[in-house]
Amino acid sequence: MLDVLSTFPVAPHHLLTGHVTRPPVSSELDAAMDRYARGDDAAFAEVYDGLAPRLLAFLVRYTRDRARAEDVVQQTMLQIHRARGRFEPGAQVVPWAFAIARRLVIDFHRRGSREVLSPTGDDDQGQLLAALDARADDVAIAKEVAERLVQELAKLPENQRTAFELIKQDGLSVAEAAQVLGTTVAAVKLRAHRAYEALREVLADIDPKSPRPGAGERGQA
């Protein structure tokens, strides 16, 4: 599956938010959060810019509802704002923010029934891939992989799926994912590995190197 996934030109969370740049380095965010905790109010915008797109992507995937995801991003950022005084020097803000977001969204789901799943923006993904001037067959393969990946991920046990997504899609380290999930590094590695193996098995029939009709043509924007 690694080969199949490597054909996917942009990480799925970037597709959903429209951001194709790499997320800011965690240490820069930690430094900004540290300045905010010490009272530099202007640093909150920096913290927001570093966290919000990643949180939004995570939450859109979790809720399948952009409006709700935005609501939870707002609540998460305000929780961070209210608790800034508790931010310890040398602590990491990314796993903290993801853990708060995950808790809030779980509570949202507990309070009300799960919302009807809304489309995940497949058309936008296609447009973005096309805009990136990807080859038409690459776009088709990537879309197929992405669709299958979403379907197969949904079938995995929640703990395996979350571990896999936090590491592979949200860009957290194994240690950060372990903190978010309240478990050990070894347990997260095992869960992610099981998810990876399960996905590799079910996606084995997709061969990224197989020729497709229209191969060699450039995608039209």
Partner 1 sequence: MTTERTSADDLRARVLAAAKNEPSPTRDDHRRRVVLVVAITVVAVALSFFAMGGFRAGSRPIEMIAFTSSFAMVAALAVGKVASPPRGSMLARPRAQLVTASVVAAPLLALVALAAAAAWPGPSSEIVSERVHLACGAMTFVQGVLPLLALFLTRRGTDPVAPAMTGAALGMTAGGWTAMMAYMRCPHAAATHCIVAHVGPTILLTGVGAVLGWLVLRPSAR
Q: Which residues bind partner 1 (CB under 8 A)?
A: 17-18, 37-39, 41, 44-45, 48-49, 52-53, 56, 66, 70, 72-75, 77-79, 81-88, 90-93, 95-96, 99-100, 102-104, 107-108, 124, 127-128, 178-184, 187
Q: How far is CA 37 from the centre of its chain?
A: 26
| Shortest spacing between CB 25 and partner 1, in angstroms | 16
Closest distance to partner 1 from the beta carbon of 215 (Å):
27
CB within 8 Å of 52: residues ≥ 6 apart: 73, 77
Residue number, 123 or 205, with CB nearest to partner 1: 123
Least distance (Å) from partner 1 to the CB of residue 212? Answer: 26
Q: Judged by CB, which is closer to partner 1: 45, or 204? A: 45
Q: Which is nearer to partner 1, 71 or 152 (CB)?
A: 71
Residues 91-94: contacts with CB within 8 Å, 24+ apart? 91/30, 91/33, 92/26, 92/30, 92/176, 92/179, 93/26, 93/29, 93/30, 93/32, 93/33, 93/47, 93/51, 94/26, 94/29, 94/30, 94/51, 94/54, 94/172, 94/176
Q: How far is the CB of 46 from partner 1 (least distance, A)?
A: 11
